[in-house]
Amino acid sequence: MSIEFVLLSQHPEHIEVCAAWSFGLWGSQSGSTLARAVTKFTPHEDSDGDGPATVVAVKHGHAIGMASLWPADLPERPDLTPWLAGVFVHEEHRGHGLATRLGQEVENLARARGEGILYLVTEHAQVLYEKTGWRVLDKVTTVLGPAALMTKTL
């Protein structure tokens, strides 16, 4: 069976695992809670279709990775929007280009919404993103340490 890419808003059965990944990697470092992460990933009824969105990679009915399109991801730069954020691939599925594919899915979603540019911040994957057309805009520091603020024209 192949991997399918679905919107989390249409497959809420994956909300808890996506929230747990996000909280474990980033939320626990910033003083957030798992409950806040679940709320962040739960679609809101008043959403007009252009708010935050998460693409989930699913294999055999199980989430194996995710990437999100968020309006903001770096508090120091509220002027930059939208963002590729929360890219995660379960360790058993790494090394097969899944993070790149998830990024492409979010780029496609942003294009479909009429966006012409994306931003991201990464502490460890600058080279991976540069291989797919991202460029460094600035160096920043996050709660996880030194990072690259990157941009990509869509």
pLDDT band (50, 70, 90) for residue 43 = confident
Domains and CATH numbers, the chain: 4-153 (3.40.630.30)
Place of tokens 């994306």: 118
Calpha distance 131→15 (Å, rounded): 30
Contact predicate 103/94, CB 8 Å? no
pLDDT tens digit string along 78-134?
A: 999 999 998 999 999 999 999 999 999 999 999 999 999 999 999 999 999 999 999
The residues with which 149 forms a beta bridge, in sequence order, are: 121, 138
d(CA 10, CA 136): 33
CA 55 to chain CA centroid, nearest Å:
8
The label of the residue with tokens 């600035």 reads: 138
Beta bridge pairs of residue 84 = 69
CB 87 within 8 A of CB 55: no
Q: Where do runs of H (alpha helix) occur along 34-87?
A: 34-41
Amino acid 15: pLDDT: 87
pLDDT at 64 over 80: yes
Q: What is the mean pLDDT of the chain?
A: 87
pLDDT higher than threshold 50 for residue 152:
yes
